[in-house]
Amino acid sequence: MNITVIGLGYLGTTHAVAMAQLGHDVIGIEPNAARVADLEAGRLPFYEPGLQDALTAAIGSARLSFATAHGESSKTAAVHFLCVGTPQSSDSNKADTSYLYSAVEALIPVLSTDAVIAGKSTVPVGTAAELAEHASKLAGHPVHLAWNPEFLREGTALQDSLAPDRIVLGVTDEHSENVLREFYAPITATGTPLLTTDLPTAELVKVAANSFLATKISFINAVAEVAEAAGADAVRLAEAIGLDERIGSKFLRNGVGYGGGCLPKDVRAFIARAEDLGVSSAADFLHDVEAINARRRERVVTLAQQTLGGVSGKRILILGAAFKPDTDDLRESAALDIAKQLDDLGAKVVVHDPMALPALVRQHPQWAGDQDVFAAASGAELVILATEWRQYRELDPFELGTKVGAKNLIDGRNLLDIARWQSAGWHVDALGRNIKNG
Ligand code: UDX
């Protein structure tokens, strides 16, 4: 099918590449000329495993092209996917939907009467219906607008797009449903469930899913607080409760908490929308979810102060800058939150990351350490593991111990083999556990 993908951020770029790989003919539309030039040259503007090769292949197959604005070819598209950003507003917790409105307005002149507009961006419930009304008014006829939320995770974005757990379609007319069912046939043919529903339910599915995931993480982090006070081990506890199929072991890793471009923003947007709808108490618990998340980062700072007897003037190495491994995304990263708090207290903070150092140099050059982790560790009196990159799991504590000024470790992700680090002479703390140091 001929389609356009409007907005080439993380979501749009991945969707465009993945759908071209599935055999559709895709035009990616993005007003940022530099980004379009990069993509046309086959350069992926962010790090995502497997996506660079897939982009090169899609361009090579001539199924994928890019433009800064719609042209004649947009008129033949059967589906226009809206993938623009819906960032948090600068003056409130609400999502800013203005890019969606601009995208729809730019689309109207090339929108054929049969074409379907399929929104993928994460939006406050009610946005799709308003957008449909706005578009229909501008077009002078009812437009086909559907909502098709995206659940891809950074680090596994391509695989999540090609083989999602489910496809959700919010539709108001049969034509949109038929077109989108046909569009996704290569995926549903492999057994992926496709659920159809109305617009508000489809919109809510996404924020509900992300709020649930954030709640699950904060739940285990709250248990970690109790475990610390009670002399228990939250990691072992999570293993035990995770074996209950009703609970499940995923998203039950306690640590410095959730970050990224989605979970924090979606939790806040859910709270804001519930307030708007007059049901704010329904989302009250999410304030606690946020507070628990913030406390875990503060806990690391407290542990650092206790370990070093105050952090002012002390050199501290933070392992990891990205909000999670296999991405170079720094948005709402727990690692950088901790870096800032320690910096504010006068510590000399050095941050290392296997992939995100270029992004860190652009945004926080004062913290950027050497690309070589052993060089970055030179003279550090404390090492804090904040992002669970595989490279860190494999780090040799004996070798690292020869570089640092003092062998103190806080494992903020419960990633490391504590006995091994201790046998190399390290003093170890880890969140949610009660580590005995000899
Ligand atoms: C999330 C959703 O998972 C995805 O479905 C949606 O489309 C976009 O938002 P993503 O932002 O890529 O994806 O990150 P995710 O894998 O959900 O992790 C979010 C954060 O939670 C990370 O900071 C991660 O380190 C943290 N996390 C995750 C934990 O602290 N503990 C866990 O057990 C799991």
Q: Which pLDDT score is estimated for 17?
A: 98
CA of 254 to the centre of ligand 1 (A): 12
Q: Are residues 115 and 176 in the same domain?
A: yes
Answer yes or no: do 243 and 303 share one domain: no
Q: Which pTM does this prediction carry?
A: 0.95
Mutate to test the pocket of ligand 1, among 263, 295, 326, 414 (most ligand atoms within 8 A of CB): 263
Residue 182 C-alpha to ligand 1 middle, in angstroms? 30
Q: Give pLDDT, residue 248.
A: 97
**In the structure, what pLDDT confidence band is assigned to residue 93 with cuts at 50, 70 and 90?**
confident
436 in any annotated domain: no
326 is a domain residue: yes
262 classed as catalytic: yes
Mutate-to-test residue for ligand 1 from 151, 290, 324, highest number of ligand atoms within 8 A of CB: 324
| 242 lies in the same domain as 320 | no
Structure tokens at 207: 């924020």
Kindly tell me if the per-residue pLDDT of 166 is higher than 90. Answer: yes
| Residues near 246 by beta carbon (within 8 Å), at least 6 away in sequence | none
Q: Please determine, for residue 309, whether its predicted confidence score (pLDDT) is greater than 90.
A: yes
> What domain range includes position 384?
295-430
Q: Is residue 437 part of a domain?
A: no
Of 147, 165, 195, the position where a domain reaches its end is 195
Task: Assess contact for 28 and 59: CB atoms under 8 A.
Answer: no
Among 42-56, 84-98, 334-348, the minimum mean pLDDT is found in: 84-98
CATH of the domain at 386: 3.40.50.720
CATH number for the domain harbouring residue 272 = 1.10.1040.10
Looking at residue 250, what is its pLDDT? 97
Same domain, 185 and 225: no
Question: Same domain for 279 and 403?
Answer: no
438: CA distance to ligand 1 center in Å? 35
Give the mean pLDDT of 140-151: 97
Q: Is 254 near ligand 1, meaning CB less than 6 Å away?
A: no
- Predicted pLDDT of residue 310: 98
CA-nearest residue for atom 22, ligand 1, is 258
Mean pLDDT of the 123-145 span:
96
Ligand 1 centre distance from Cα of residue 259 (Å): 7
252 lines ligand 1 (CB under 6 A): yes
> Which residue is listed with tokens 């947009």?
74
- Binding site membership of 324 for ligand 1 (Cβ less than 6 Å): yes
Residue with CA nearest ligand 1 atom 19 = 258
pLDDT at residue number 92:
86
Length of the chain: 438
What gap in Å lies between CA 230 and CA 232, rounded to an integer? 5
Of the residues 262, 335, 350, 357, only one is catalytic, namely 262
pLDDT tens-digit readout, 379-438? 999 999 999 999 999 999 999 999 999 999 999 999 999 999 999 999 999 999 999 998
| 386 Cβ below 6 A of ligand 1 | no
Question: Are 124 and 51 members of one domain?
Answer: yes
Query: Distance (Å, rounded) from C-alpha 373 to C-alpha 355?
Result: 12
d(CA 64, CA 268): 35
Q: Is 232 exposed, middle or buried (0-12, 13-18, 19+ CB in 10 A)?
A: middle
User: Is pLDDT of 27 > 90?
Assistant: yes
Answer yes or no: do 263 and 320 share one domain. no
pLDDT at position 359: 97
Band of pLDDT at residue 14, cut at 50, 70 and 90: very high
Residue 389 in contact with ligand 1 by CB distance below 6 A: no
Q: Do residue 277 and residue 358 come from a single domain?
A: no
Q: Are residues 313 and 416 in the same domain?
A: yes
Q: Are residues 22 and 160 in the same domain?
A: yes
With respect to residue 251, please indicate whether it lies within any of the assigned structural domains. yes
* Nearest ligand 1 atom, CA 253: 33
Q: Look at the chain and report how many structural domains it folds into.
A: 3
314 and 369, same structural domain? yes
